[in-house]
Every structure is written in C-alpha cells, then in structure tokens.
Amino acid sequence: MGMRRGTNLPRMGDFNRSVILEAIRRSVEGLSRIELVEATGLSAQTVTNITRRLLDEALIMEAGRTINGPGKPRVTLRLVAESRFSVGVHLDPAVITFVVLDMSGAVVRRRIVRVAEQEPRRVIETMARTIDGLLDEADVDRRRVAGVGVAAPGPLDAERGTVIDPPKLQGWHRVALREVLAEATGFPVIVEKDTTSAAVGEVWTAAGAVDDSFLFLYLGTGIGASLVRDGEAVRGSSQNFGEVGHIVVDPDGPPCACGSRGCVEVVCTPQAIVERADAAGVFDGDPDARGARVVEERFTLLSERAGEGDPAAGAVLRGAAAHLAMLVSVLTNILDVDRVVLGGPFWSRVADVYLAEIPGRLEARSATRAVREIPVAGTVVGDDVGAVGAACVVLDSALTPRASDLYLDR
Amino acid sequence: MGMRRGTNLPRMGDFNRSVILEAIRRSVEGLSRIELVEATGLSAQTVTNITRRLLDEALIMEAGRTINGPGKPRVTLRLVAESRFSVGVHLDPAVITFVVLDMSGAVVRRRIVRVAEQEPRRVIETMARTIDGLLDEADVDRRRVAGVGVAAPGPLDAERGTVIDPPKLQGWHRVALREVLAEATGFPVIVEKDTTSAAVGEVWTAAGAVDDSFLFLYLGTGIGASLVRDGEAVRGSSQNFGEVGHIVVDPDGPPCACGSRGCVEVVCTPQAIVERADAAGVFDGDPDARGARVVEERFTLLSERAGEGDPAAGAVLRGAAAHLAMLVSVLTNILDVDRVVLGGPFWSRVADVYLAEIPGRLEARSATRAVREIPVAGTVVGDDVGAVGAACVVLDSALTPRASDLYLDR
C-alpha cells in the first residue's frame, strides 16, 4: 500500500524559489521585493535570500528603482527572458510547426514545414535539422535550451514517449519519438498530446489567475479536449486525457466506424464538415478530391463562402457549431469548469460563426445554469497553439511550482 | 491577477502531522516510529516530535512492543478510533440513511428513515432528531463529533450549502440545508453531492494506495459520476462535477425532455429501466403504478426475475448494462482513469449482470486499449455508500493531508 510522503526544508526551499520566479515572470512590469512579499505571503528574509540566488544565476535582473515616499527606493526585479529557451514542435498530419520561445513565453523564431507522406524516421531527422537551423538563426546558446516539446496526436504511450497508431498519421505505429528525437538533437524531449499542449500554452500566454480552471476544446484534424484545473493541465492516468471522438452529438447523424451513430468523429471534424458541405453543393470542384491538404483547403473555402453570405455554407457551419455545442455541454456538465476556450489549427476560420452559436446553446444545456454562467472564448494563442504549447510544456515542467513537488521522494 | 502563494514552517508542520496521522490510520496493525520514517520519508526526529503530540491529544495510542533482534523494542502506534466521530446523512427521494462513523471509518450506528412527501424544514427537523438519538444510543461525547456530512442529489449551490431544484426531490427549491441543519444540531455541516460523497467513502474504505485514481459511477434514483485523482475527490469549480444525465448512450433511444434522444436520464436510470421492463411484460401488476417506492420495488423484482432466468427480464437488464457501458466508455475516454468502480443504492441488485456485460464492452470502446486495460469492479462500501461517504467527507476534510494546504493564506 502506497503512503503519502511528508515534506522537509529543502523541498520547501525549492518550492518557494519556483513561486518567486513564477510571480516575477507573470508580472509584466516586474516586482519589487516588498511586492513579492505581498504576492507570495513569504517573509521578507525568505524573499531576499531567494532573489539573491536568482540574481546570481542571472534568471532575473534588477531593472530600475522606484522612489515611493520616504525610505529606501524599491528595486524592480524582472525576468531575464533570454536566460532560457525552449523549442516547440507540433506534429500534424499536414504540416509540422516549429517555434523557439524565450523564458517569458515570447516566440523568437517560427517555421512551418510541409511533409509529404514520409517514413517516420525521416520526418524525425527533418525535425532535428529544422530545430538546429532555428537555434542557429536565433543565435541561441545551446546550454540555455531547456528542452524540446513535441505536441502529437493522441493516444500516446507516455511511458515510452511513443505515438501509437494515431488514426490520422499513417505509418506512425509505436514510433519511439521521444528517444529518437532526443538522440538526434541532444536535448531532453517531452512528448505531449496536442490538446494538452494547447491548454498549457493557453495558461502560459493568458495573464489569468494562477488558479484558472477551464476546458480547452481543440479543433485540429481531430477534435480533442483538455482541462486546466487550478492553473495546471490535467493529464490523466496514462496522459491521454480528453479523447472525445466517440461521444454522440447528433442521434440523427451518420454511422460511425465504432458501431454507433452521430459521433464527434463523423460530425464535428473538418473532414466531416467538408463532406457535409460537399453534399450541400457548397463546392464546385472535383467531389472526389481527398487527403489532409484538400480538407484544409475546402474548410478554408467553406468559411470564406459562409463569411460572404453563401446560405448553404452558412447553414453547414452553423449546424457544425450546434453539434460542437452539444459536445461542449457534455464536457462542461461532467467537468464543472469556470470557462471554455476554443482553439487549435482550424479555429480561427470558424471563430465568428462558432462564437455566435455556441454560448446560448451551452447555457440552455448547462446543469448548473441556476448558479452560474460559463463564458466561452477563443484562444489567445492563435493557430500555432500546438507548437507554442509544446514549448510551454517544457518551460512549465522546468519552472512552475507544484505543491506535489513538495512530497519527499520514495 | 492571483499569484501562487509560498509555504513556511508552520504549514509544513501541520502537513507532516496529517501525513503521519493518515499513515497510522491506514495501517490496520499500527506502525512503529521506524516504520513511519520509512513510510513518510520524514526524519526520525520529526516523527518522534509529531507522534508525541498525537499521543498527548489521545488521537493515537501505544499498543504493544515488538522485539526485533537486538536494540530497543519497537512500540506500535495505533489510532484511537473513538477519539473522533462523524455523522453521515444520505438524502434520497425515497429514504434518508443515517450513519455514525468513528475515526477508523467503522460504522458504529446506522438508521434508515422513510420520509413521505414532507416540507423540507420538517425533513431537516427529523434529521436533527435522528442524529441526536443515534449519538445518544452510541453514547458519543458531543465534543468528539467532527461534524455532519450530508450527501444530496445535485446540482448544489455549494457556496450557500443549498440544494437547487434537484429534479427528483419535490419542493426542495434553494433550501439552505447546511445552515438550517447546523443550527438544529449545533454541529458544523458539510453538504456534498451524493456522487462525490460515494467516491470519498470508497477512498476511505478501500485499502488502496494514496495515489489511487478511479471513476465512480453512482447508480441512484439518478445516475452520476465522480472522480478520484491521486486519492482526492475532484469536485469541480462549483462542486458539481459529474452531471452525466444528458449524455446520449442510445441514438435509437426514447426522446428526452432536453430535446435530444437516448440520454442517460431516459435510458439508464432505475425508472427508465423499469418502464422498459414494463413494456416488455416483465411485471404482471398495475402498469400505472408510479412513485419512487414503486420504482424501487419493481427494480428489485426485475433483478430477481432476471436472476431466476426470466428471459425478458434478463434481456432488459443486459440492455441497460450495454447502455451504461457506453456511458462508462465516454467517461473513461475523457477522464483517463486507472479503474472504474460501480456503486450506489441500486447497485447490488444489478451487480452480477452489469459486471458480466460492462468490462468487455468498455474494452472494445477504450481509446487507450493499446496501452492498458481498465478494470471494472463493484464498490467495497455497499448500499449505504452515500451516507458512509458523507461521514467520510467530514473525516477527510479534518484529517487527510493535502499538498494545497501548504499554501500560505491570502
């Protein structure tokens, strides 16, 4: 039987160091030592000791003095953004997106690489070469790179860092992505679900409270959900939280390979929506065109036509929004969150229509509508949320304080 | 913007005290100080200091010495079970169940009261009188009562401790249950969803690891879900986690008042199952009989007939199990848990049929079947899981260490 572990002074010291570094990072203008005492509840002595060490390590710097009435002037402490970097890679069936972030979470380099259907090992080699090129361009000292985060479609075998048969990545059968990429780059690699990465990116980028709790609904080639509770992404026991593809959102919908009908997978994905639009006569081109690239182009075309007032295109998108609202209501009724964020690579194209349709439908189906409303908003991160999020996963695991880190090791 | 708070020595001391008390409580045979050092990772000095204080407060006692080779004999430390008590009340549409637990989680008194449709205030008065009577019978010193936990059907207004319009409790509109019962009994009262209470009861009663993670599916008058992650019940932002009534589990199912079809509410509840059995000709009595009591009696009859080999009754129950398996798969695919526990007041009557049907169906629909299996089992607590769980909620909030308790107050 496992027992809960106690804590001790060195654990407490590490935790408080992370708390102070996080408070400084999250403040746009920097903080004085007195403000840190107020923000963290720590004693002035503890704050002085910890900030001295952070200054020695050049993770923070003194940036100006404020005179505020009599007494000593206050010294503002600010993050040294370029003291650490991290790399984010978003592995998608159509494209691979790369970003380099500094410790403030700012994107210092970005690149998109289209990969035709290639053997996984060759794709990983391309990744390693691209990462190397981006770090050269940005003139980043390799010793300051905290690691590489890869956002990949689930489900994942988190223990082995492998991608397991993601339905939309052909040939990626149990590829040891973490190990092979770590060897090719020389950096530690974290493989995370694209949906979870996106949620971590949202937490790092949004200037929300540290105890923010929200559902992130990820609109990519597939649809996935992730959850942030008290500022922390909830990963689940096997790190596969949020597989929502076979939730029924339309009892009158088309049959699904799973044996049911009207699942998210056959109703809400870009491919399903494009097929419905095709049947509604929205497109004039080749009705048999296939593949991830074609779906993406047609999805863009559909949203453009809807924006131009094409009634058939508008009706298809509003219908898709209504079905997604069903999914969102199922998830919020289960998970009981404060708010909902929608994002992912396909999000910006449907944001207007979806934000007009979803909130009212969600409200009507909310189990807790008598006690509160659940606001719905688009991501603050943009279309690169997968790659940015993957880089944030690396920064997050290195920098964010976790109460659970206080437990003594076994 | 909220900031994360640091921690300090007094917080650490309180936390380590809870860790040691929990370790002693969870050990059936008691633990020596050396075993506590091993179990918790704390220093011998810290263990000695904390156990001395626990002995002074009479929460633990010295129970025998073991001689183990040369050196000083080891003293076994054991919980003083009768040092604290708590009361659990399960408010159900048909019956109210009361239990008194000691600190070890053992039931020392139990009573069931059937309430006809009464005005909520009169029901609360009955509760207070029954609690008083039970404590008298068990000869419990009122100063040793940690509080009263009430398991109530959701949704709840947790801030006000009120029940909001639970669909199956007529007349309970925004009743200030917590406040009124606290006044009537003189004890602190915690109101918790019945489903969450059940999960806490399961954690306290099962001798699982402290980092146990499971989905608890609660079969009561309504169906609800709760989640335990790392040994702690997940309550959600408004403490209404787990509203699953309008998840579609049968696209061919009957229409639901929510506007959809085949929802859990109209397919998986005892009432829905009894109606289906009625239509299948399982019962020979009055087809128009209604009310919570009739549903309960017929549900019992249905399970008895299925057990006796009645093919129509068996088919209805197996169908209900298949639909519940759909719900379980939706939940496990979202929540990514290690295992599933089924329980609640209606559980024991269907356990055999459900445990034969659900695991295979769940496996077939699991998004992570390539990496792991998800075992399914019945509760270890029994039909009183709601009331026992509510009493455990009180013990849990008083005794279980939480890393989050380490944060300094604002």
Reported ipTM: the value is: 0.91
Please report where in the chains the tokens 């009507």 appear, as a residue: A364
Q: Is B269 on the interface with A (CB under 8 A)?
A: no
Mean pLDDT for chain B overall: 90
Q: Do B334 and A336 touch (CB under 8 A)?
A: no
What is the predicted pLDDT for the residue at A207?
66
Provide the pLDDT for residue B11: 81
In chain B, pLDDT over 90 holds for what percent of residues? 64
Residue A157 confidence (pLDDT): 87
pLDDT tens, residue by residue, A299-326 = 999 999 999 999 999 999 999 999 999 9
State residue B168's pLDDT score. 66
**Residues 92 through 111 of chain B touching chain A, CB cutoff 8 Å:** none
pLDDT at residue B184 is higher than 90:
yes
Tokens representing residue A152 in the block: 């990949």
Please report the residues numbered 125 through 154 in chain B whose beta carbons come closer than 8 angstroms to any beta carbon of chain A.
154
- Fold identical between B84-202+387-399 and B211-379? yes
The answer to whether the CB of B60 falls within 8 A of the CB of B78 is yes
**Mean pLDDT within B355-374:** 94
Q: Mean pLDDT: which of A66-70, A100-104, B37-41, B323-327 is highest?
A: B323-327
| pLDDT over 80 at A260, yes or no | yes
pLDDT at B97 over 90: yes
DSSP letter for each residue of B85-97: EEEEEEE-SSEEE
pLDDT higher than threshold 60 for residue B1: no
Please name the amino acid found at residue A335: L
Distance from CA of B373 to the nearest CA of A (A): 11
- B164 pLDDT band, cuts 50/70/90, is confident
Q: Does B26 contact chain A (CB < 8 Å)?
A: yes
Residue type, B201: G
What mean pLDDT do residues B264-291 have?
A: 87
Per-chain mean pLDDT for chain A: 90
- Closest alpha carbon within chain B to A330: B247
Look at residue A210 in the predicted model and tell me its pLDDT: 66
CB nearest A251 (choices: B4, B15, B262): B262
Which chain B residues are within 8 Å of A368, Cβ to Cβ? Answer: 155, 238, 240, 243
Task: State whether A2 and B211 contact (CB < 8 Å).
Answer: yes
Cα nearest neighbour of B161 on chain A: A371
pTM, 2 dp: 0.91
Please determine, for residue A1, whether its predicted confidence score (pLDDT) is greater than 60.
no
Put simply, the answer to whether A4 touches B210 (Cβ < 8 Å) is yes
Residue A5's pLDDT is: 81
> Which whole number is the average pLDDT over B345-367?
96
CA distance, residue B94 to nearest chain A CA (Å)? 23
Instruction: Please give the Cα distance from A326 to A320 (Å, whole number).
Output: 10
Q: What is the pLDDT of residue A102?
A: 94
Work out the average pLDDT over B5-24. Answer: 85
Choose among A244, A370, A401: nearest Cβ to B164: A370
What pLDDT sits at residue B208?
63
A155 shares contact with chain B (CB less than 8 Å): yes
CB of B330 within 8 Å of a chain A CB? The answer is: yes
Average pLDDT over residues A335-360: 96
Q: Which of A237, A333, A407 sits opposite B403 (nearest CB)?
A: A407
Chain B residue nearest residue A407, CA to CA:
B403
Please tell me the predicted confidence (pLDDT) of residue B10: 81
Show residues of chain A in contact with B157, CB under 8 Å: 370-371
Asked whether the beta carbons of residue A408 and residue B330 sit closer than 8 angstroms, the reply is: no
- Does the pLDDT at position B242 exceed 90? yes
Q: What is the pLDDT of residues A77-115, one digit of tens each?
A: 999 999 999 999 999 877 899 999 999 889 999 999 987
In this structure, what token pair is assigned to residue A276?
A: 């419905």
DSSP state, B104? Answer: T
- Residue B279 near chain A (CB below 8 Å): no
Q: What is the pLDDT of residue A166?
A: 65
Which range, A49-63, B104-118, B288-302, B325-339, is most confident? B325-339
Report CB contact under 8 Å: B2, A338: no
Cβ distance of A154 and B247 shorter than 8 Å: no
Residue pair B130/B98 in contact (Cβ under 8 Å)? The answer is yes
Chain B hits for A408, CB-CB cut-off 8 Å, are: 40-42
Report how many Cβ contacts below 8 Å link chain A to chain B: 238
Rounded to whole angstroms, the Cα distance separating A250 from A320 reads 10
Asked if pLDDT for residue B27 goes beyond 80, the answer is: yes
Question: For residues B336 and A239, is the Cβ–Cβ distance under 8 A?
Answer: yes
Listed by number, the residues of chain A in 350-369 with a beta carbon closer than 8 Å to a beta carbon of chain B are 365, 367-368
Closest CB from B16, B237, B334 relative to A243 = B334
Cβ of A261 within 8 Å of Cβ of B244? The answer is no
Question: Which sequence spans correspond to the domains of chain A?
Answer: 9-79, 84-202+387-399, 209-379
Architecture per CATH, domain A209-379, reads as 2-Layer Sandwich (3.30)
> Which long-range contacts link B211-214 to residues 24+ away (Cβ below 8 Å)?
B211/A2, B212/B338, B213/A237, B213/B337, B213/B338, B213/B339, B214/B337, B214/B338, B214/B339, B214/B340, B214/B341
What element of type H or E holds A175? strand A173-175
Residue B117 has pLDDT above 90, yes or no: no
Q: B45 CB near a chain A CB, below 8 Å?
A: no
Within 8 A of B224 by CB-CB distance, chain A residues are none
Residue B394 has pLDDT above 90, yes or no: yes
- A179-238 confidence digits (pLDDT tens): 999 999 999 999 999 999 999 999 888 766 667 899 999 999 889 999 999 888 999 999
Q: What percent of chain A has pLDDT over 90?
A: 64
Å between A199 CA and nearest CA of chain B: 15
Instruction: Inform me whether the pLDDT recorded for B286 exceeds 70.
Output: no
Candidate CATH numbers 1.10.10.10, 3.40.50.1970, 2.60.40.1730, 3.40.50.720; the one for domain A9-79: 1.10.10.10
| CATH code assigned to B211-379 | 3.30.420.40
- Measured between alpha carbons, how far is B353 from B320 in angstroms, rounded to an integer? 10
Residue B115 has pLDDT above 80, yes or no: no
Distances (CA, A) of B287 to A121, B138, B275, B290: 67, 44, 9, 9
Of the candidates B46, B209, B247, the beta carbon closest to that of A330 is on B247
Q: Please name the residue of chain B whose CA is at the shortest distance from the CA of residue A208.
A: B1
Stated as kind and residue range, the H or E segment containing A17 is helix A9-26
Comparing B3 with B137, the larger pLDDT belongs to B137
Q: Kindly state the DSSP code that residue B373 receives in the 8-state scheme.
A: -
Q: Are B3 and A40 in contact (CB under 8 A)?
A: yes
Instruction: Answer yes or no: is pLDDT of B333 > 80.
Output: yes
Superfamily of domain A84-202+387-399: ATPase, nucleotide binding domain (3.30.420.40)
Which pLDDT value is given to residue A35? 92
Q: Do A367 and B12 touch (CB under 8 A)?
A: no
Most A CBs within 10 Å: which of B18, B203, B238, B336, as the mutation test of the A interface? B336
Contact B154 A367 (CB under 8 A): yes
Do the beta carbons of residue B4 and residue A399 sit within 8 Å?
Answer: no
Confidence of residue B174 (pLDDT cuts 50, 70, 90): confident
In angstroms, what separates the C-alpha of B160 from chain A's closest C-alpha? 10
**Contact status of B215 with chain A (Cβ, < 8 Å):** no
Gap from B394 CA to chain A (nearest CA, Å): 20
Q: Which of A46, A245, A251 sits opposite B248 (nearest CB)?
A: A251
Q: Which positions in chain A touch B261 (Cβ < 8 Å)?
A: 251
Looking up tokens 């720590």, which residue turns up?
A: A42
